[in-house]
Amino acid sequence: MKTILVPTDFSDHALFALKVAASVAKKINAMINIVHVYNLPSSGFEQNEYSIKFYSEIYTRAEGQIAKLSLLDFLEGIDVKTHIIKDRLMWEIVKDERFKDSDLIVMGSHGESEFSKVFIGSNTEKFVRLADSPVLTIKNEIEDFVVNKMVFTSNFFEESYAVFEKIKFFVDLYNVHIYLLKVITPKEFEPTPVSQKLMDSFIKKFKIKNCSVNIYNSQNIESGIIEFSEEVKADLIAIETHGRTGFAHLIHGSLAEDIVKHEAKPVLSIKIPALSKSALRFMGYRNDYDNWGNE
């Protein structure tokens, strides 16, 4: 059975995500794991009868809230398991043995607004960066989650094939029209024949029928994705992330995290494997496309 992970802090946005997760679960007969994590101070608090009582009350309150969630009407007929995890950070559950192989993670996010970004926003960004499972980010309440139009933006190198394998169930589930999108910028220029060849190979590999090829010029990739998605009135944006951490993340940042922060539409992010030598070699042919693939 497929499994869907839904982290919750009991906020409205987490509830929006749970509703979407329930909609998907009913379509694919998946189980939902609802997980609440709380992290108590590790220093500065003396362990005594009062602190023990205080911690116990926090757990009891969380237990009651998560039990109420599991009984909501829209979860009827779905196998739901609830989990309360103590002394962990929320994003650390992506490496938990119980949840790391989830087929899908659905998260609510406030995006980049108000003080709440410090908590919800930063956790969502870490999930996008670190999770091996696809992460579906939901910012608004959606009464009927249906995907008719999906924008899939990629470099369309072979590494992206593994990414598409993970989101293909969305394509099949909703019979969506896929807008295959390659954004071209002055800084990341690529001749049109190279882009076209990469995208044609991608379509052939997956035998995609209901799709269109789109090469879109913009000042930067993030703006291009958002502008194009608005133009076609997409229901969902699917995007790759390299999952960079540490210094590499500090220097290069993350396009997927930026899209999640700034885009109001649902965003599906999937970690891409590291670029192979073949992909790097293909990149070298961007300005020599007559010889690309003809070694």
More confident residue, 64 or 46: 64
Domain boundary among 76, 106, 138: 138
Range ranked top by mean pLDDT from 161-175, 220-234, 247-261 = 220-234
Cα–Cα distance between 121 and 119 in angstroms, integer? 6
More confident residue, 130 or 110: 130
Strand ranges of the sheet holding 267-271, from the earlier edge strand across to the other edge? 80-86, 31-38, 3-7, 104-108, 135-138, 267-271, 236-241, 149-153, 177-184, 211-217
Same domain, 129 and 251: no
Same domain, 48 and 23: yes
Same domain, 61 and 187: no
Q: What burial letters (b/e) apply to 61-80, b meaning 16+ CB within 10 Å? A: ebeeebeebeeeeebeebeb
Residue 109's pLDDT is 83
CA 77 vs. chain centroid, Å, equals 26
Q: For the chain, give the mean pLDDT.
A: 82
Same domain, 14 and 130: yes
Same domain, 272 and 206: yes
Residue 241's pLDDT is 80
How do residues 149-186 score in pLDDT, each as one tens digit?
999 999 898 888 988 988 888 888 899 999 999 999 99
Instruction: Cite the DSSP H helix spans in the chain.
Output: 12-28, 49-70, 120-130, 159-174, 192-206, 221-232, 246-252, 255-262, 277-284
Q: Is 30's pLDDT higher than 60?
A: yes
Q: Is 52's pLDDT higher than 60?
A: yes
Structural domain includes residue 293? no
Q: What is the CA radius of gyration of the chain?
A: 21
Q: pLDDT class for 277, splitting at 50, 70, 90?
A: low
Let me know: does 178 contact 171? Beta carbons within 8 Å: yes
Question: What count of residues does the chain have?
Answer: 295
Structural domain includes residue 295? no
The residues that bridge with 83 in the sheet, in sequence order, are 35
Stretch among 1-10, 16-25, 285-294 having the lowest mean pLDDT: 285-294
Cα–Cα distance between 139 and 110 in angstroms, integer? 6
Q: pLDDT class for 202, splitting at 50, 70, 90?
A: very high
Domain that holds residue 234: 149-284
Q: pLDDT class for 54, splitting at 50, 70, 90?
A: confident
How do residues 63-95 score in pLDDT, each as one tens digit?
999 999 999 999 999 999 999 998 888 888 988
